[in-house]
Structure 1
């Protein structure tokens, strides 16, 4: 029997392990330029998916050709037991993330003001900062 985490990870591309039971990759449910999908395996073998761009678990599993039941070990998922999920937002983490990216932008602005040029990696980092700020605002329910 294939474990839920193995089924999910095998269906994704360019997965990067970020810790014990944690991975990051591009979300298959939208045109993801940078990894925005967090994948986590809980102690009981359930797979948690979080797209920082706002895609839901149903959208993600559908894009992989899977269903929500594939996130759960054995027969732990039942449509009759499913309850509406309410998205909780950790605003403190979102603000800290925005602050970190704002420091990157400010550092680049100071360098440019001092006549320095940004190399390709510097420009790429600025683009990443912009994407992460936009993602954090979207997760918090803001519109851009």
Structure 2
């Protein structure tokens, strides 16, 4: 399993009382196959995440991984943003209006679209590295969330 450490981390740090804000659904093989058929070249670490951890939110709605890869226009119903003709498919968001996704014509690079400045930023990370950061998990498996 690719995400064994991340699963263990979430079990350790998520608030068990906040089931709704930490709810995820693991994908079945047939769902993964359909996604691969629709999007050739999709990163394996993303597919493994869907299968092992699943779509939905984590860390009390720190971040959500969506159940489909869609454009910002498909998600919002609005064609507001000029992405300079980049093919950006959203896989998640931070509950603050910023979208995370793949630049599919640029070797499926992970990128973020920041709504406040309407800019697309390439992250320079694999999906697994990126999602660990969104979990507030450092490279040693430690929690980086500020303690109050």
TM (normalized to structure 1)?
0.25
Higher relative strand content: 2
TM (normalized to structure 2)?
0.25
Higher relative helix content: 1
